[in-house]
């Protein structure tokens, strides 16, 4: 009889093998053993189980190293689909991926009112999920799971939204609502955490062991990767950098504090600048981006101002965390160098660490998809941790 410890070790080893196949595909059993340090018989037995479960496929013979040609293995992309959702303040972006994390369907809906009721926002979300389920292709396991990134403080283990000030949400049991409605496992995280995971799995952070992902949109948040793992803090609430105080007697913030970075370095600050200097209020963030790229002087100045303020926040974070890389994501970096050049200039000027080494500051490779891709990765990574459903 196997003990609980033996079962756990086997499950961990199985996760390691599956993860190795995902990252190194195509790869042979012998190469898996070499990469992981597991013995060949263990690898062979675990691969046989993964083949039976249809999570991996044999892809034909690889190159011979002097003996029999090895059989290469890869992920079975079509074993099931995953839904990843970026629950934005003014939009909901939803993607469906296959098991390899490749986007096969997506839809974005724009919302007119950021502070509509939680009930209405959740109804919009459920309608979108229903559409995705209907649109999904037939697979062995159907929809494997749903990942959701939310702009607020999230209890990751419980799937509870503790506070999302920009949505006007408090103590929303989102996971249980969605699971009860659809009967599909749901994983919820802060949108900046999801963005960091997305960049680590699929984007600019693939080769970085330690980096910061800064989500710069309606609010400001950070996903922190340390030693290739997401850092959550003691209670899972790390990364709320938008609410660090940068002005002693500053602008009141939706969180109840005043002088928060978010009020100077987010879409809120951009709109405030446009209202003051261009006397316009009805523009969307994408209107202002398009106008700035087209050469509108006030729009460009607005982004330069926000970039400068965001650069101050980034300098503080570099001083605190000493990362290899900083990735700027969400809506603001879509304007390109107009924001990024000012941000980099200000960060370098104010960063103590820049005296000794240079830290790369890059726009997201995934653009607006970082959070949704990371939300999908929440599902995939949980399945890797427990391959047998």
Is the distance from CB of 32 to CB of 72 less than 8 angstroms? no
Helical H segments across the chain, by residue range = 4-24, 29-36, 40-52, 118-135, 174-182, 191-202, 262-265, 267-277, 285-294, 297-321, 337-350, 370-385
Q: What is the pLDDT of residue 10?
A: 81
Q: Are residues 308 and 355 in the same domain?
A: yes
Q: Are residues 164 and 213 in the same domain?
A: no
Q: Are residues 285 and 220 in the same domain?
A: yes
Q: Are residues 209 and 348 in the same domain?
A: yes
Q: Per residue, what are the HEC states of 329-350?
A: ECCHHHHCHHHHHHHHHHHHHH
Digit-by-digit pLDDT tens for the chain (389 residues) are: 556 567 778 888 888 898 888 888 899 999 999 999 999 999 999 999 999 988 899 987 756 565 567 889 998 998 899 999 999 988 999 999 998 889 999 999 988 655 567 788 899 999 999 999 998 888 888 999 999 999 999 998 899 999 988 888 899 999 999 999 999 999 999 999 999 999 998 999 988 999 999 999 999 999 999 998 999 988 888 999 999 999 988 999 988 899 999 999 999 999 999 999 987 777 889 999 999 999 999 999 999 999 999 999 999 999 999 999 999 999 999 999 999 999 999 999 999 877 788 899 999 999 999 999 999 999 987 776 655 44
Is the distance from CB of 343 to CB of 308 less than 8 angstroms? yes
The CATH number that applies at residue 31 is 1.10.10.10
Q: Are residues 243 and 218 in the same domain?
A: yes
Strand order in the sheet with 143-150: 103-110, 91-97, 81-87, 143-150, 186-190
Q: Are residues 49 and 109 in the same domain?
A: no
Counted domains in the chain: 3
Q: What is the pLDDT of residue 67?
A: 58
Q: Are residues 35 and 175 in the same domain?
A: no
Q: Are residues 239 and 349 in the same domain?
A: yes
200: in domain: no
249: in domain: yes
243: in domain: yes
349: in domain: yes
Structural domain span for residue 93: 80-195+371-385
Q: What is the pLDDT of residue 388?
A: 46
The CATH number that applies at residue 107 is 3.30.420.40
159: in domain: yes
297: in domain: yes
Q: Are residues 30 and 113 in the same domain?
A: no
Q: Are residues 229 and 346 in the same domain?
A: yes
Burial label, 5 (beta-carbon count in 10 A; 0-12, 13-18, 19+): exposed
Q: What is the pLDDT of residue 115?
A: 52
């Amino acid at each position: 009889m196997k003990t609980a410890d033996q079962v756990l070790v086997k499950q961990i080893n199985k996760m390691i093998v599956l993860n190795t196949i995902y990252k190194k595909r195509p790869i042979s059993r012998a190469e898996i053993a070499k990469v992981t340090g597991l013995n060949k018989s263990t690898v062979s037995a675990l691969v046989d189980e993964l083949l039976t479960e249809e999570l991996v496929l044999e892809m034909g013979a690889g190159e011979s190293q002097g003996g029999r040609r090895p059989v290469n293995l890869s992920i079975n992309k079509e074993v099931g689909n995953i839904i990843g959702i970026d629950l934005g303040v003014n939009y909901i972006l939803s993607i469906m991926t296959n098991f390899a994390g490749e986007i096969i369907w997506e839809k974005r809906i724009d919302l007119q009112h950021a502070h509509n009721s939680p009930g209405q926002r959740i109804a919009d979300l459920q309608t979108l999920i229903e559409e995705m389920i209907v649109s999904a292709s037939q697979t062995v396991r159907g929809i494997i799971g749903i990942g959701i990134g939310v702009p607020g403080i999230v209890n990751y283990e419980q799937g509870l939204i503790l506070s999302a000030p920009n949505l006007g949400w408090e103590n929303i049991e989102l996971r249980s609502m969605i699971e009860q409605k659809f009967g599909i496992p749901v994983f919820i995280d802060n949108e900046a955490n999801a963005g960091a995971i997305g960049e680590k799995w699929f984007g600019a952070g693939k080769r970085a062991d330690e980096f910061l992902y800064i989500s710069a949109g309606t609010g400001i948040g950070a996903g922190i990767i340390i030693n290739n793992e997401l850092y959550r803090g003691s209670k899972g609430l790390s990364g709320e950098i938008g609410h660090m105080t940068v002005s002693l007697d500053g602008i009141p913030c939706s969180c109840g504090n005043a002088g928060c970075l978010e009020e100077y370095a987010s879409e809120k600050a951009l709109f405030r600048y446009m209202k003051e200097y261009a006397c316009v209020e009805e523009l969307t963030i994408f209107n202002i981006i398009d106008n700035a790229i087209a050469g509108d002087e006030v729009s460009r100045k607005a982004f330069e101002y926000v970039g400068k303020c965001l650069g101050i926040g980034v300098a503080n974070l570099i001083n605190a965390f000493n990362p290899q890389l900083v990735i700027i994501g969400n809506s603001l970096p879509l304007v390109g160098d107009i924001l990024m050049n000012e941000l980099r200039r200000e960060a370098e000027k104010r960063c103590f660490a820049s005296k000794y080494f240079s830290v790369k500051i890059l726009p997201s490779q995934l653009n607006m998809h970082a959070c949704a891709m990371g939300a999908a990765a929440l599902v995939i990574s949980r399945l890797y941790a427990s391959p047998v459903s």
